A and B are shown apart, each in its own frame.
Chain A
């Protein structure tokens, strides 16, 4: 049985779903953040699989930019988490209700 691009797309969908579920279930801001990383990586897999299927390198370059954006996002996000933790000594997203969200 040949492994086609559809298999990789399905795997990426499963990983994205797990990431989205983790984002919704977890209360710890750090774990929510890791779930976001998981979702970003599943999308990267679809980019690579589609790029191979279409015989184009553009998918791989898109992955590069996703990587850069993810790295920038991690830097700022973790800085926010640490800053929140220093002032409230908690990383739980449920306790942050100052903005009535």
Chain B
């Protein structure tokens, strides 16, 4: 019962935040809405015993990534009006109705029906996502993807630096 009440409240907050991202005129409000959604998802992670993931979600996602977003919003200005008109008539209403139907059908199937992929015997095992358990798996079974992510992060950082240093400057030279 408590989980149901918690689910309804937090899910409503998450969906409200998500809708803010889509419909907010001001990008700062959109960023705040996304942050709200990320926090609500962290609550769901705690419900699912994914403690470490929840902490990482709050610290890395809601903290670091969204701060980066806000930095960029402040850099490129927030008062810019966005043209939201659509060239094809009625396509937005059509796609919205189609999406609603899909979610309704999928929701009824998911909530009312059974998942074939769920094995009832296995669901009795508690997967507790403590730092110890997750770390043990991360450094044994998942060591190769883990090392690959370090390469990915290095490449991303080097790419960002390269874009910042060489991107606009090269264009200036071409203009001159």
Contact = CB atoms under 8 A, between A and B. Distances in A.
B9 interface: no
Interface string A57-70: 11011011101111
B82 A76 contact: no
Chain A, interface size category, equals: 35 or more
B99 to A, nearest CB: 5
Interface of A, helix, strand, loop or mixed by DSSP: helix
B106 A13 contact: yes
Given A5-B118, A30-B27, A65-B145, A87 B167 contact: yes
Interface residues of B, number: 82
Contacts of A58: 137
Given A14-B103, A53-B115, A55-B124, A19 B153 contact: no
Given A55-B127, A57-B129, A24 B95 contact: yes
B134 to A, nearest CB: 6
Contact of A76 (B22, B60, B160, B168): B160
Given A21-B95, A71-B60, A35 B21 contact: yes
Interface of A: 1-11, 13-15, 17-22, 24-28, 30-31, 33-35, 37-38, 41, 44-45, 48-58, 60-61, 63-65, 67-76, 78-83, 85-87, 90-92, 94
19 contacts: A6-B115, A10-B106, A10-B110, A10-B111, A15-B37, A18-B19, A28-B27, A38-B34, A45-B41, A48-B45, A53-B118, A54-B117, A54-B119, A58-B137, A71-B153, A75-B159, A82-B75, A87-B168, A92-B83
